[in-house]
Amino acid sequence: MVLAGGRARRMGGVDKGLVEIAGKPMIEWTLEALRPQVDRMIINANRSQQAYERLGLPIIEDRHEGFQGPLAGLHAAFAAAASDYLLCVPCDAPRLPPDLAARLGEALQAHQAEIAVAEAGGRLHSLHALFDCRLASDLATRLDTGERKPDRWYASRRFVRVGFDDVPDRFVNVNTPDQRDALAAMLSGGA
């Protein structure tokens, strides 16, 4: 699942997934990086559905109103997932490691965890994660009690941090116009 359901306040409210970078919408870069790693993809979007529908993938909206955050998008994706596990990535980090799913999956199994989360450059990248879909009811309960922070929910479950310090640049995300321009220069240069 690609999360594209936020407000993008730091980007001036522009739908980040549709922001053009090096000739195409940012979400297209993300989908290209994700496609070889998974069997099926869905997009979580709470606006601009018609634009996202042009990508030919299922679009799901949050079941909770009012932009409740990434956990609400994850909750909606659990309901739409047709598998035991769900890989989540944000639309604003389009340079995913080519082995993201494999490394998260290996760690999830090796540690008998419910959630595997990428960590690089001394930072937990909480929206680059693999989830056991049996967590759906627990997440629904947490959302109903007002939880909105992924890290706090993860801490209440069996989760493992998965090191990606060999490729920290793959987790660069775009929150501002300056970051957009820097990423465009990187992608245009073939980096």
**What pLDDT shows up at residue 132?**
97
- If we measure between CA atoms, which residue out of 83, 140, 85 comes closest to residue 113? 85
Q: What is the pLDDT along the chain (191 residues), one digit of tens a residue?
A: 999 965 555 555 678 899 888 889 999 999 999 999 999 999 999 888 899 999 999 999 987 665 568 999 999 999 898 899 999 999 988 899 999 999 999 999 999 999 999 999 999 999 999 999 999 999 999 999 999 999 999 999 999 999 999 999 999 888 888 888 888 888 776 54
**What pLDDT shows up at residue 191?**
47
Three-state DSSP class for 117? strand
Measure the CA–CA gap between 65 and 102, rounded to whole angstroms.
Answer: 33
Three-state DSSP class for 151? helix
The pair of structure tokens assigned to 141 is 């309960």
One-letter amino acid at 133 equals: C
Q: How many CB atoms lie within 10 A of CB 66?
A: 8
Contacts of 122 (CB under 8 A, 6+ apart): none
**What pLDDT shows up at residue 181?**
87
All structural domains of the chain, each given as residue ranges with its CATH number in brackets, are 2-188 (3.90.550.10)
